[in-house]
Amino acid sequence: MIFLTMIASILIAAVSIYQFKKEAREYHQDRLERKENAIVEHINYVLQNTTYPLSTQNIPLIFKEKIYEISDVHSMELNLYDLKGDLLLSSRAVFKQDKESPNINSSTLKILESTVEKRYVEFKTIDSLKMRYSYSYIKDNKFKPLAILNLPYEEDTDFYDNELQNFLIRFGQVYAFMFLIAIALSYFLSSYITKSLKVISDKIKETELNQLNERIVLEEGSKEINLLVQAYNSMVDKLEESASKLAHSEREQAWREMAKQVAHEIKNPLTPMRLTVQSFQMRFNENDPDVKKKLDDYSKTLIQQIDTMSSVANAFSNFASMPAQQNETLNVVKIVELSLEIFNEDFIQFSSIEAEIIARLDRTQLIRVITNLVKNAIQSIPEEQENKQVQVNVFRENEDVKITVKDNGKGISEENKARIFEPKFTTKSSGMGLGLAIIKNIIENYNGTITFESEENRGTTFFVSFPITD
């Protein structure tokens, strides 16, 4: 709309300028013709009432005094030439006649002779003045040419220039107002048109696979917008169906993997249990004096393996079903410090800038996070290493409480960094690889984050962040 308004204003201004100039040309052309017709009639009247014979030689005598009278009556300069183009008589002053060339050039004479009307108008610009020079024949009663009448006519365009200037000023004011209106209308109209597109755009930005996406409902909309809305709603339906299938597939895959891991972990203690039972069955002798001692060893072995199986079951149970959060207002600094008291290692260091950072968290789950990270830090340091060090730091940053656990152990290799939080992944010879996966689940349930930085043979630092909620 703005572009069309600008183009329309430019075109109308151009057409108006052209029209004003055309009217000015037509006005001066008509005025010259009227002046010329009136002067010719006046000259014919003089010729009809003269006592001199009508000839070219007598023209200066006939119009000796009359030429000035005609010039004054019609407010025009006029020149009379013979048929060869030489000046016979002029109403101009003598100094003007000396200044300008008095004769008609041959080319003008030829054009005048060749015209049907025996009239020719020549255009010239002299000292930035636009001039018209009209040439026509003066004839006697028998239509025989006696002389050539020349009328110099100056095109005074000041009036039309002033009118054009005033028109363009008014035109510019009107179109400036219209331009502002066009901008306002364009803004509101485009906002109205694109409102539906913005709704669709916002919905598309919010669309995710792991959430329930809302359909778009528009009461009014163009045919194209409605088609787009229908396409989006169809996509949402298909996405929800695909998400449901994917979630079902992922759950099935997760339980398959979990079943394999549980079976593998349970199978490990079953083998020594089977061998122990077979050995006891083959070697059992009621009369053996050490039968009681052997029975005790046999029972201890079975109990130990049963405890191993029980710990496997408990670990997977904890991972599959986290206990409900029992949030309470607690001092995170104090709880972290208490969590470290269960460790006997003297190289564990604790520091905190503030003595008290209050947050609403589950005490048990927070202790579990700290103990798991510290335990992993201790186990990452080789037994033979000197200057062992584990640093635990608690501090406040904006609206979060930050906990860092740093060690100077062997670090995490590049190929293992991407899998460090995966269930069942472990780099240790013992354990089931569920510790970091469990604490990551705990932290994310509080909308917190856990990240790490590690360098091989230099150590690892884990960064835990919990939001401080009132």
Asked whether the beta carbons of 448 and 464 are under 8 A apart, the reply is yes
Neighbouring-strand partners of residue 90: 79
Domains of the chain: 2-161 (3.30.450.20), 223-320 (1.10.287), 327-467 (3.30.565.10)
HEC string of 315-363 equals HHHHHHCCCCCCEEEEEHHHHHHHHHHHCCCCCEEEEECCCCCEEEEEH
Confidence at residue 95, expressed as pLDDT on a 0 to 100 scale: 43
Long-range CB pairs of 80-83 (<8 Å, 24+ gap) are 80/138, 80/147, 80/148, 80/149, 80/150, 81/147, 81/148, 81/150, 82/56, 82/147, 82/148, 83/56, 83/145, 83/147, 83/148
| Chain centroid offset of residue 326 CA | 47
CB neighbour class for 99 (10 Å; exposed up to 12, middle 13-18, buried from 19): exposed
Annotate 452-461 with b (16+ C-beta within 10 A) or e (fewer). Answer: bebeeeebbb
pLDDT in tens, the chain (470 residues): 778 878 888 888 888 888 888 888 888 888 888 988 999 899 888 888 888 888 888 888 888 888 888 888 988 889 999 888 888 888 886 545 445 557 888 888 888 888 888 888 888 877 777 888 889 998 888 888 889 999 888 877 677 778 888 888 888 888 888 888 888 888 887 877 777 777 777 777 777 666 666 777 766 666 777 777 778 788 878 877 777 777 667 767 766 766 666 666 666 666 666 766 777 677 667 777 777 777 777 777 677 667 666 766 666 665 555 555 678 899 999 999 988 888 888 899 999 999 999 998 988 888 889 988 998 899 889 988 888 999 999 999 988 999 999 999 998 888 888 878 776 555 554 454 567 877 888 888 888 999 999 998 889 999 999 998 65
CA distance 462 to 230: 47
CB neighbour class for 293 (10 Å; exposed up to 12, middle 13-18, buried from 19): exposed
Parallel, antiparallel or unpaired: strands 145-154 and 390-397: unpaired
Please name the residue that has the structure tokens 């800038």. 353
Encoded tokens for 149: 């009448």
CA distance 274 to 140: 152
CA distance 405 to 464: 9
Parallel, antiparallel or unpaired: strands 390-397 and 459-467: unpaired
Please, what sign has the CA dihedral across residues 42, 44, 45, 46? positive
Confidence at residue 393, expressed as pLDDT on a 0 to 100 scale: 95
Q: Any residues with CB less than 8 A from the CB of 313 and at least 6 apart, and which? A: 262
- C-alpha distances in angstroms, 275 versus 264, 272, 278, 301? 17, 5, 5, 11
